[in-house]
Amino acid sequence: MALISPSLLAGDFSRLGEALKLFERIGAPMVHVDVMDGHFVPDITVGQPVVKSLAKATKLPLDVHLLVERPERYVREFIKAGADRVAIHAESTPNLHNALAEIRRAGAKVGLALNPSTAIESLLDALDAIDYLLILSADLAFTGSSFLPHTLEKVRMSGTLRRDLRLDFAIQIEGGIGPGHIEPLVQVGADILVASSDIFQKDPEVCLREAMRLAASAPQVARV
C-alpha cells in the first residue's frame, strides 16, 4: 500500500502546530520537511531549531529532505534535532557515499534524492546504501513548478532496477503531485508520495484524506 507524506511547506508557517495535529488526526505516516539553504536551491526555508521544535510537537516521524550544499556538514545536527529520515541530493556533494554512511551512523533512515535531470543509472553503485530513493517530479528550484510527465518512466525504471538488483529501497516522489497523478505513480512503482500545495488546494483535511485513499487503493507493482 502506497503512503502519503504531507509536506509542512504546504501549510501556514504561523500555524505549524495546527498542521501537525491535522496530520496526526488523519493518520499520516510521517511529515515531510524541506530544508533549503538558498544556495543549492534559491529559497531558504527552515533549519535545525525548527526541526527540533517539530520533534517536540509531534510523534510523527520527521521525513527531512536536505536541499543544501555539502549536506554531510549538517546531517548529524538534523538527526540530533529529531529527523527520523534524511534524504540528501546526489548532486549536492562530491562525497556522496560518505554522506550516506554518515546518515546511517547517526541513526536515521537513509534517502538519496535526485533532481529531475539526473539519471538513476548514474548512481547504481549507491543504491545498496539507501533505504529510500526520493525522485523529484518537478523542479524545486522554481516555486510552483509543474509535475514533469517523464517522472512516470523514471519511477518505472527505478522499480525495475530495484527488482533486478534484488534491493529493497522505497521509491518516494515529490514535486507538483496533484490528485490525478497519484494512481499513475503508484501503478508504476511509487511507495511514498509527498503531498504539497497541489494537494492542499481547498480544504486540507478533505484533500489529504482523499489523497491517502487514492494512494491506498491504487494497484501497486510487486516489490520483488
pTM of the full predicted structure? Answer: 0.94
Interval 33-84: pLDDT, tens: 999 988 888 888 888 999 999 999 999 999 999 999 999 999 999 999 999 9
Full strand arrangement of the beta sheet holding 170-174: 3-6, 192-195, 170-174, 132-136, 109-114, 85-89, 62-67, 31-36
Q: What is the pLDDT of residues 80-107, one digit of tens each?
A: 999 999 999 999 999 999 999 999 999 9
Distance CA 66, CA 81 (A): 14
Q: What is the CATH number of domain 3-217?
A: 3.20.20.70
CA–CA separation, 171 and 87 (whole Å): 12
What rounded mean pLDDT belongs to the chain?
Answer: 91
